[in-house]
Amino acid sequence: MLKTRIMPTLLYKDTTLVKGVGFDSWRRVGSLMQSIKVYNLRQVDELVFLDITATRDGREPDFELIDEFADECFMPLAVGGGIRTVEHVRRLLAVGADKVVINTIAYEDPSIISEICRTFGAQCVVVSIDYRVGGDGSRKVHTHSGTQERSMTIVEMAKLAEERGAGEIMLTCIERDGTLSGYDLPGLAEVSAAVGIPVIASGGAGSYEHMCDALTVGHADAVAAASMFHFTEQTPLEAKRYLAQQGLRVRL
């Protein structure tokens, strides 16, 4: 049985780290390099770096920036934002990324998932699925940093990603993003039951208890968090200790 991973998420916009609520990331939260140095000391299992405006602005990944900070990152690094081609992935892996996170392009052209997996292996491909919960309880995929609603449900998209060979899915509920109110457990449980690949819970973590709920009630395999680590005194290491006390397998 794989051990549960704790994955801080760094959202990058216009030269700085940001965070907000519901994908409205307006608040500056500090230096990218300083955050990486802090997480190096806190036994983080994996770090997620997302350039949240690259796709919206039609930019490719900032390879120079990633090359610079990857040298200081002593934990596995997943990078997303602006990825549209296999060559983008090749360059990201060459400058220090361990995985890539794809979102909009995975919906628009699912064949890219297969191409990346065939070229570099499924272990380096995370398909990120962002969604909102409709008034009827439906959970529809949203792309372009959460601004465009699609017809596909999160379960349909998750199954498609798995069929195309993705190694993992990162599932983010937009309404819960930044609220510190807990993950969308029904959505997590739906997707976790529908696929056989690891599911990373994202959007809403505010406490160690929320993480435990995502893993036990939502059946997620890993938990990602941003605001919880930016704006509270809680840490990835203490999260692991709490989860271990609840009987969950973690790296300590």
Of 175, 171, 162, the closest CA to residue 201 belongs to: 171
- Mean pLDDT of the 78-107 span: 97
Set out the domains of the chain in order of their start, with CATH numbers.
5-245 (3.20.20.70)
Judge contact between 24 and 52, C-beta under 8 A. Answer: no
pLDDT in tens, 14-73: 888 998 898 887 778 788 999 999 999 887 999 999 999 898 888 999 999 999 999 999
DSSP characters over 135-175: TTS-EEEEETTTTEEEEEEHHHHHHHHHHTT-SEEEEEETT
Structure tokens at 37: 């140095």
The whole-angstrom distance between residue 84's C-alpha and the CA centroid of its chain comes to 17
pTM of the predicted structure, to 2 decimals: 0.95
- Mean pLDDT of the 224-244 span: 94
What local confidence, expressed as pLDDT, does residue 14 receive?
82
pLDDT in tens, 185-207: 999 999 999 999 999 999 999 99
Cα separation of the two ends of the chain: 16
E strands, the chain, are 5-13, 16-21, 24-30, 47-51, 77-80, 99-102, 125-133, 139-143, 148-153, 168-173, 199-202, 222-225
What local confidence, expressed as pLDDT, does residue 42 receive?
82
Radius of gyration of the chain (CA): 16
What local confidence, expressed as pLDDT, does residue 46 receive?
96
Of the listed ranges 9-18, 93-102, 234-243, the one predicted with least confidence: 9-18
Q: How confident is the model at residue 1 (pLDDT cuts 50, 70, 90)?
A: low
pLDDT in tens, 137-189: 999 999 998 999 999 999 999 999 999 999 999 999 999 999 999 999 999 99
Structure tokens at 121: 């292996």
